[in-house]
Amino acid sequence: MTASLTLVVVAAVLFGTGLTVMLERSLTRVLIGFLLVGNGVNLFLFAMGGAPGLAPILGTGDPAEFSDPLPQAFVLTAIVINLGITAFMLALIYRSWWLAQLGETGDLIGDEEEIVEDAEETADLYRSSEADDLAVQEVLDASDEERDRP
């Protein structure tokens, strides 16, 4: 098994840099560190696959010259898992940013304002219906007084 020294060094640098960046408190830096570590691990797996050879799926040639498909399958699986975790972390970062923009009241700020506005509108409607009832009663009383006159 031969591994390219350049790939191993680059994988080690990515892994070390990613771990250093992941130790920060910011979620964005944790995401960047996670991506660096993921790419470093993928490069390490790719380097451990050995020298390139013939495609094993063709089945022709000397089996000693075939390249090992298992590291390639690991790298493809790791890329998909990396993408899923990255999407999840981006959603967490966006939610965290959104909550930070709202302050201490959080998501309730819109609901409380809406409840107060609804209560004021309901009170205005109730007051107007009372005034309408009083006006109708005054008209009825006035009409009764006119009938009583001879």
DSSP 66: B
Task: Per residue of the chain (150 residues), give pLDDT as tens.
Answer: 567 888 889 999 999 999 999 998 888 999 999 999 999 999 988 888 877 777 777 767 777 778 888 888 899 999 999 999 999 999 999 988 888 887 766 666 566 777 888 888 888 777 777 788 888 888 888 887 766 665
Neighbour count for residue 83 (Cβ, 10 Å): 11
Distance of alpha carbon 50 from alpha carbon 21, whole angstroms: 30
- Cα dist. 55→60, 61, 62, 96, 105 in Å? 9, 10, 11, 47, 60
Distance of alpha carbon 87 from alpha carbon 54, whole angstroms: 35
pTM comes to 0.60
Sequence-ordered list of residues with C-beta below 8 angstroms from that of 72, at least 6 positions apart, any chain: 46, 49
Terminal CA-to-CA distance of the chain, rounded, Å?
Answer: 123
Location of structure tokens 């990613």: 18
